[in-house]
Structure 1
């Protein structure tokens, strides 16, 4: 073996070579002898040998010190900075939205969104504006191009029907030429309206059947087909409260606070009555006031939304025959047979009623109300629904009312935007096929699937650490989470031209008769609904169209749905840092997943059936956990008006659970993949970027009127509190932003459900 040589501090004799088997190739000797032998050996060594040994020891110590220094330097070194075009672009967007003058520990919403709010005054014609609206406008522009490009290679007749429907909506000259005639003729066909002419007389049940079955209105109550909550494999007729012209009962009952809206609504009613043939404004106003008073009586018996949440309490299954005893004012069997024609029904047909006391009271109200007023009210429901389909006078009148109702600044919204929204509402899956083919990258499905799997894993990890839940319920909850079905992008049938055409086979649209097209669609929709009654619920039947910028959880199907419209920036971008994607679409996924376990979703088992599958001890513990959140959000106010902590509870649980699951999933991703590059100039860590990305999804502005409407109708908290409510419950947020205990974003008392 060759001699191992190295530099020394002094001249020395070379070391003898080691015998075979006594050492390693690098020259280090292995010595197992005891200390006494070592001392004897040391005494025999020459001075030069001793100096050499000391020198080697010093060099070893220096080498170890250097290695440790390198390790610590590597650990302390900031992560690499991403300087790609995509990273520079997203950095610019984030930077322009921030307000660095605000302390993030004092008000994280203003810190994250202050710059955005200053740069985004409300556009004319809008009562609210935010990320969702911006993205929807982008999607609308794409749909406009697709619907107007009639020479494009569309692959199905259904898509051509969507184009013709849109063309008819855009045919303003024909609409202006017809003026109010289509609706006037329809009213005459239904027996007349005392406001605009002669009324045929006592035909209450006949008119109720017609306006409900053929024109999709819901005077007095709503009737529809959906999965039976206690037997989710079958559909059933369902009945619930309905019939108010304004968005909430509160508008009618708090008259002083809402006087401006009530006056604006009455003026709108009078204007429409006059356009449709009312000859005497005083008489028209008097009769419209009677309708408004009747709607106020309906509002008085309408159950408040926060008391209409517990489905275990409000679910009442009975037969169609039982309805006659419950609400005798309605001739139920002819009514249901007309609404669900041609399906054959008898008195043993099961019906689920969600507003039993309301139906009893509305029946009494009908029986004690003048028949002429009842007819005026039912026809008003039809007029309110169909007047936007008529000439410009009707749209101007509605716009004027919207100014009062929502505080919008007057502007002439481009006709094409109205027509895009209407086409999406009615033929959205035919239009959705075109949208998906033009915009949706198929590998986005794979990315979304991976994200959902990571969020599910994180949620289930949190489930394991919950202190308040018993083991048996925890096991069942994990099974439910595992069973949640993912629907991403679009329902499969829309990409098969034959299947898509089969769905829309019985609907026809012509290019120049918009009002008739819509009426035909109402009839077509009613037949589709009736057909579903004898079929099991279908996973391919979505509640949102593919271009929609939103997502949802279906409790009876135990599925989460993410339309193609939301799977894009700022929620998800392939080139963005993972911190932003987890803070964006990751929180959205976590939000929808948590809905399976909110105050309503938790009542459904893994198969989508409403049943008590929790142990009582865990039910009581859950309710105790939610009290904290009800109080927390109930203390937030907008313009002096409090958030309804009970009404918003489900969404607040989902917001908090979604943020927590997405954060944990991002942590897991980093453990698996290592640190990612950070963004330049921001001075934010990737964890801080996660929270900023989450908050900036909710940057928005609203008029005071729109904020008021949101507080009394929307089950979601206002955007500001969706941000500060969740981050102030997050210990991780407080740590990453070094928020002092007791600061607004790091309160000592935190609420947690999941």
Structure 2
């Protein structure tokens, strides 16, 4: 029985159920497959990493490689600025210490005294520098002389001058074959009559005397119809943009959260002036009522001025004197002096010199551009946008702000509350070109200036019309809340927008045909500084980075300029620590923004045979030396920051160092790891 059972069991065990010696073990098979999967994943990762490194090295190589030249008219003009400039990489020991001054050490001497070093130390240091930099200074002076002899403009102008020159070029352009709008023709005609210096000389003082008669006369020059004080004041403010006793500004209220009950009403604190009538006349046809809130600046002055006017009006009634009327006539004369013959202007100039005004006389072209801008601000803002701020401008804004957000996100904040508040604010803000709010077409612009009728050789009459245009501009701002911000040169915040004015995007700082390295090195770095100052005015109190990074840069500077034992002797005050950090961060942000742009468009052109990165760094140095308004707050030449950057990265064409055996290399902490 047992045998049969055993046989039966053997029979029911089919070959399929019996394990075969030639089949793989399931556990071993899974292990084998897992090893293959790991090996494949590692190979894929290594390949991807290799391709990434190769791509990165290729991009670095491209950034350092020679670039095809830019031959546009704008580039040919820009090349002049670099053709006579010293190559920073040919004199690494000296260039970034004295790059901003042709005289060599004079600028640095002043900065050394600020740091607190003794005069004796300065004298010894100057001797050492004189030996090292004699050839450099001589070469720079020779370059300056060569540039001047050829009529070249070696230095970048300040940004305000650059904007005015761009407007001047628009107003002087003939644009043959291009149909100009009627509004643009009027602006050009106004500028042309302003530039005609002989026209006011021919008519002399006659236009002003006729105007006085229309205003009721003046006892000093003839008859006077005893016009009421407030009537004359209202007329001067509304028709002639003249404010003898106070000025009126229109703009956003910085204290909108305050209740109306906290405001001061000037119909009660300064009763000598008919405020409501003045404002109604000035902003006609807009309705101005007594219930409208008027914010008052310098209330003590307003109150005291009202008391003084009341006292003089009493004297006028008793003694028959006319001091208030005479003062208003003189104020009108001062407003109209630009349109009168040169004797008036020279008299005012002599008076200014006697009272201590040592400013140089403004060139006529500059005065005429400013006068044209007062009346035709919307038109000129539109013209600048059309000629300068194209698609490339918006790309630069986007890249710089993206790089800036990346920089700020990685900061070491001192508390989470301030970190969350500031970072959320930065992320919620939207940077945009200013003229999107007033981008009128040619038909709308022509309608805006339809009532303006200008004469060919009568600048005085044209000037009076410009004053009326200025008054209408104030009314437009009050009614619509927008203005032609394109004629500004610095960013501002409006609600959730960061307003980037198109007035920043002018030659020589920016042009759509420029190599991007030039645009990002100049305007990109300036914009980054502007935004850091605008968004984080006291960042040194909220994060640890400004102190640590700026002191690292400062130590590197001292290690190059002083003996090793003195490298840690001098410290920087918090304000200078912050500025060093802002300047160095702006350089990093601009470079990172350019790399973002280069990734999107892996080609670029160049100037003077420079590589991409070489042109970027030279552009940063040039604009920092010539046109950076924050340079004066630095304890050393900001161009030295390129030395630190090149010492900590592989992006420079060659290492910018001249370290002696007694000098140490800069610390790695000077380099922001966020951007690389």
Give 1:543's aligned residue: 485
Distance in 1 separating the partners of 2:667 and 2:347:
48
Give 2:591's aligned residue: 663
- The reply on whether 1:130 has 2:157 as its aligned counterpart is yes
CA deviations on 1:289-312 (whole Å, 9 max, x unpaired) are xxxxxxxxxxxxxxxxxxxxxxxx
- Map 1:171-320 to 2 at 5 A: 174-190=199-215, 203-231=228-256
- The reply on whether 1:516 has 2:516 as its aligned counterpart is no
- Map 1:361-380 to 2 at 5 A: 361-364=304-307, 366=309, 372-380=322-330
**Unaligned regions of 5+ residues in structure 2, if any?**
1-31, 33-53, 105-136, 317-321, 554-572, 649-654
- The reply on whether 1:389 has 2:389 as its aligned counterpart is no
Checking the alignment, whether the CA contact within 8 Å between 1:554 and 1:560 is kept in structure 2 is: yes
Distance in 2 separating the partners of 1:526 and 1:168:
21
User: What is the TM-score with the length of structure 1 in the denominator?
Assistant: 0.57
**Could you tell me which of 577, 582, 589 is aligned with 2:520?**
582
Give 1:697's aligned residue: 623
Checking the alignment, whether the CA contact within 8 Å between 1:165 and 1:514 is kept in structure 2 is: yes
Question: What displacement does 1:585 show?
Answer: 1.9
More helix by share: 2
Question: What displacement does 1:598 show?
Answer: 4.3
Partner SS state of residue 499, structure 2: strand
Q: 1:204 to 1:566 in 2, by over 3 A?
A: same
Question: What displacement does 1:189 show?
Answer: 4.2
Question: What displacement does 1:216 show?
Answer: 1.6
Q: 1:197 to 1:407 in 2, by over 3 A?
A: same
Question: What displacement does 1:96 show?
Answer: 0.7
Checking the alignment, whether the CA contact within 8 Å between 2:413 and 2:544 is kept in structure 1 is: no
Checking the alignment, whether the CA contact within 8 Å between 1:130 and 1:700 is kept in structure 2 is: yes
Distance in 2 separating the partners of 1:318 and 1:347:
14
Partner SS state of residue 280, structure 2: helix
- The reply on whether 1:81 has 2:66 as its aligned counterpart is yes
- The reply on whether 1:558 has 2:497 as its aligned counterpart is yes
Question: What displacement does 1:651 show?
Answer: 9.8
Q: Tell me which of the two structures has the higher relative contact order, counting C-alpha pairs closer than 8 angstroms and 6 or more residues apart.
A: 2
More strand by share: 1
**Could you tell me which of 320, 330, 343 is aligned with 2:273?**
330
CA deviations on 1:402-450 (whole Å, 9 max, x unpaired) are 8884564x89x5x66654543333224335556666x44xxx6222222
Q: Which piece of structure 1 moves more, 491-500 or 180-189?
A: 491-500
Checking the alignment, whether the CA contact within 8 Å between 1:337 and 1:345 is kept in structure 2 is: yes
Checking the alignment, whether the CA contact within 8 Å between 2:163 and 2:503 is kept in structure 1 is: no
Partner SS state of residue 82, structure 1: coil
Checking the alignment, whether the CA contact within 8 Å between 1:81 and 1:680 is kept in structure 2 is: no
Give 2:16's aligned residue: none
Checking the alignment, whether the CA contact within 8 Å between 2:491 and 2:501 is kept in structure 1 is: yes
Give 2:532's aligned residue: 594
Checking the alignment, whether the CA contact within 8 Å between 2:97 and 2:640 is kept in structure 1 is: no
Checking the alignment, whether the CA contact within 8 Å between 1:219 and 1:381 is kept in structure 2 is: yes
Question: What displacement does 1:183 show?
Answer: 1.8
CA deviations on 1:47-81 (whole Å, 9 max, x unpaired) are xxxxxxxxxxxxxxxxxxxxxxx999999989422
Partner SS state of residue 581, structure 1: helix
Q: 1:77 to 1:341 in 2, by over 3 A?
A: closer
Distance in 2 separating the partners of 1:361 and 1:466:
50
- The reply on whether 1:159 has 2:184 as its aligned counterpart is yes
Question: What displacement does 1:352 show?
Answer: 2.1
Partner SS state of residue 559, structure 1: strand
Give 1:107's aligned residue: 98
Question: What displacement does 1:460 show?
Answer: 0.9
Partner SS state of residue 130, structure 1: coil
Checking the alignment, whether the CA contact within 8 Å between 2:396 and 2:524 is kept in structure 1 is: yes
Give 1:571's aligned residue: 510
Give 2:174's aligned residue: 146
CA deviations on 1:201-240 (whole Å, 9 max, x unpaired) are 69543333332222223333321222233459xxxxxxxx
Distance in 2 separating the partners of 1:513 and 1:562:
33
Question: What displacement does 1:597 show?
Answer: 0.9
Distance in 2 separating the partners of 1:498 and 1:447:
26
Give 2:298's aligned residue: 355
**Could you tell me which of 378, 382, 391 is aligned with 1:446?**
391
Distance in 1 separating the partners of 2:235 and 2:220:
19
| Matched length | 537
Checking the alignment, whether the CA contact within 8 Å between 1:327 and 1:359 is kept in structure 2 is: yes
**Unaligned regions of 5+ residues in structure 1, if any?**
1-31, 33-69, 233-314, 603-617, 633-644, 702-714
Q: Name the Cα RMSD after superposition.
A: 5.5
Distance in 2 separating the partners of 1:175 and 1:700:
37
Question: What displacement does 1:586 show?
Answer: 1.0
Partner SS state of residue 571, structure 1: coil
**Could you tell me which of 408, 417, 420 is aligned with 1:463?**
408
